[in-house]
Structure formats: C-alpha cells, structure tokens
Amino acid sequence: MVKELKDFVRGIKGVDIVVCPPFTSLWVVKEIINGTNINLGAQNMYWETKGAFTGEASPLMLKDVGCEYVVLGHSERRQYFKETSEEVARKAEAALSVNLIPIVCVGEKLEEKESGKTESIIKQEIMALFSKIDSTLAARIIVAYEPIWAIGTGRSSNSKDANLIIKFIRE
C-alpha cells in the first residue's frame, strides 16, 4: 500500500503527507518512503523520553527510527487503554521536546453528539492539551477531528458538520 501511495503522491506540493504504520512496520516503511515527499509517523508513544517501560516506545525511539510525527489520543487508545486527555497532553509535551510533531485526535461519542455536547467535549480535550504545552510550541501541534461515533458504525460525518467542528477547533 505504501508503494502505491508513493507513486500516487509524487510531485504533490503544499501539503504534508504522513503515513503512520504499526510499530513493527516503521523501519520497513521508512525505507520505502526514503527520498519521497512522504513523512513517517507512529501510532502512539509513551510520555517518558528515557527509562525502562517495557512494551512502550519512547519519543527518542521514534526519532531513532525516523519518525517526524506521532498520533496521540486516538479513540481506541482512549477507549481500550483508558487514556485521559491529561495523559495525551503529557505525551504531546514529550513529543515536542524531541521535535516530533503531535497529531492529537479529538472527538465525541454518539451519545455525546446526540445530546448536543460535541463542542463541550472537544473544548475539554483541547483545553487539557494546551494547558500543558508551552505557548511557543503550541503551533506545532496538529489537532485532528475524529468523530468517534462514525467509527465502525456505517455512519459518517457530512462535510458541513465536519467543517463546523474544524472551525470551532481553530477558534
């Protein structure tokens, strides 16, 4: 798939293209995208840069393999591993400390959407994130809207609703 992507995006300018494979594929994918306009990212990381944390990948480990980006706060991490917005903020802070660009996912569940809580949920997640981050580094964070209610449900966010949320996030 990455080989096909490499051919497809060749010559595209003005956007950052990032591929975030599983940890076990980082090195292989790095070799495939070497010399292209595709950047390497990881799907998660631990918030400590040093130390023995069995099974975790530190920000420095990701840098060593060639990552430039890291996805943090994905809904699956929040759901299955009970990651909090505060933990995501710690990870973002650690990522920035080694010049990784955090891609932080924010979004609402179906019941939160249906009860009109979308903006308050997203605001809570963003406030928790940026309360930990030095203001001089905040502009390096990418906030990604991930409507949790659309994952695996067969439902999708229409462009009008998604654009409203993106506008809210930017404000």
Going by C-alpha positions, the residue among 96, 100, 97, 90 that lies closest to residue 65 is 100
Q: Which of 137, 62, 146, 68 is nearest to 104 (CA)?
A: 146
CA–CA separation, 10 vs 41, rounded Å?
18
In the residue annotation, 48 being an active-site residue is answered as: no
Residues forming beta bridges with residue 143, ordered by sequence position: 104
Inter-residue contact 106 to 146 (CB < 8 Å) = yes
Instruction: Write out 28-51 in H/E/C secondary structure.
Output: HHHHHHCCCCEEEEECCCCCCCCC
d(C-alpha 85, C-alpha 104), whole Å:
10
Please identify which of the residues 74, 83, 93, 108 carries the catalytic annotation.
74
Q: Which of 87, 112, 146, 171 is catalytic?
A: 146
Assess whether 83 carries a catalytic annotation.
no
Active site residues: 74, 146
